[in-house]
Structure 1
């Protein structure tokens, strides 16, 4: 089988795990308790794909809100409890299984903190499948939209970034993949997908839009796999 890419690099939230709305509910409730009232739609539009550091900057610059003492401990506890219930984006396990069966390497590159990245993969049942995952701490904190995470992930897989596919669900992530030199497809499969997101992903540089994991497997030219718990990569 001739494969179109050397490797596939996935974002995590909204691409493999359906965590965006869970996080959104927690954040909106906590912010309301600490002086900032914001709608779920407005917060979602600003937060998807951002690192925590950049999210705080957005809240400060756009709303004049700064986190009070003790806020991070509260948010950590609430978010971790919520992510215990996160599920895979439908079809994600089958996609990883199909990639493994075809011998096409893949990795996760996420703006999530390492502990939370691991928590979400485990809760969604994808931790055994994903043996290569990367977070901003591994690239000096230079998370998306900077290209460093994707460049690092490709190098770790021994792949040429210009022959890698990045799968993203946010403009921030698409910008990172494009800046790295990868081909970038926008995936619109999570619960958080909203009106206007297709246009935002295309404006950020997504070369193609995919609407579910079954479509992604087909677009990659892979046979669908019935296995829901793919084996680890060598």
Structure 2
């Protein structure tokens, strides 16, 4: 059977690791302490799938709020502490192992800062499987999602045509990046913190499929279970 793709490119947060609720709690606590209390739903809509820089820009545009010199160091310290107890999403490891067995290359392309990206992978027990193919916006001059650069770069590093890749995303900005890059995008809403309109947003930007678990994703990718 001929596959319709040559590689799989994964987002990290909400796709392989269950980090969204932890990150949101850190952001909201720190913002409130620095003069900007926000409702959970309001923060989720402006922040999901975005880089730090884009979140700060949107907070400035929407609320006229600018981060003080102390804000980012506190946020960074709290993120690092929060992600020290991070778990992989159910059956995410099995998805990566299935791709390895099938000889299908894969990479992680995340808006996370490089140090936190690797911290999350280590803490969730996925570092060895992903290996060197974990990429953040610093590899492409800081041009994170929803720009396509990061996914195009990850495909190049794997030695495959981005048009022959499946991108797995949980957010509209990430899915938009994959579609702009020319990949097929599968939405995956398997994390513990799924936004109520997540499916509608993914379909609106053009996701080819929306799946609800790694078991479903494994089926969609044609991965055989271990013997």
TM range (shorter): over 0.9
Partner in structure 2 of residue 232 of structure 1: none
Task: Note the C-alpha offset of 1:225.
Answer: 3.5
Partner in structure 1 of residue 151 of structure 2: 150
The question of 1:14 aligning with 2:47 is answered no
CA distance in structure 2 between the partners assigned to 1:99 and 1:3 by the alignment: 13
Partner in structure 1 of residue 5 of structure 2: 5
The unaligned stretches of length 5 or more in structure 2 are none
Partner in structure 2 of residue 231 of structure 1: none
Task: Note the C-alpha offset of 1:68.
Answer: 1.0
The 5 A counterparts of 1:183-222 are 183-222=184-223
> TM-score scaled to structure 1, two decimals?
0.94
CA distance in structure 1 between the partners assigned to 2:42 and 2:164 by the alignment: 36
Count the aligned residue pairs: 226
Task: Note the C-alpha offset of 1:224.
Answer: 2.1
The unaligned stretches of length 5 or more in structure 1 are 227-234
Question: Per the alignment, in what secondary structure is the counterpart of residue 117 of structure 2?
Answer: helix
- Whose helix fraction is larger, Structure 1's or Structure 2's? 2
For the aligned residues, what is the CA RMSD?
A: 1.0
Question: Per the alignment, in what secondary structure is the counterpart of residue 184 of structure 1?
Answer: strand
Q: Moved runs in structure 1, 4+ residues, more than 4 A? A: none
Question: Per the alignment, in what secondary structure is the counterpart of residue 3 of structure 1?
Answer: coil
Question: Per the alignment, in what secondary structure is the counterpart of residue 165 of structure 1?
Answer: strand
CA distance in structure 1 between the partners assigned to 2:87 and 2:72 by the alignment: 24
CA distance in structure 2 between the partners assigned to 1:160 and 1:103 by the alignment: 16
Partner in structure 1 of residue 32 of structure 2: 32
Partner in structure 2 of residue 230 of structure 1: none
CA distance in structure 2 between the partners assigned to 1:14 and 1:52 by the alignment: 16
Partner in structure 1 of residue 124 of structure 2: 124
Question: Per the alignment, in what secondary structure is the counterpart of residue 201 of structure 2?
Answer: helix
Task: Note the C-alpha offset of 1:41.
Answer: 2.0
Aligned partners of 1:8 and 1:165 also within 8 Å: yes
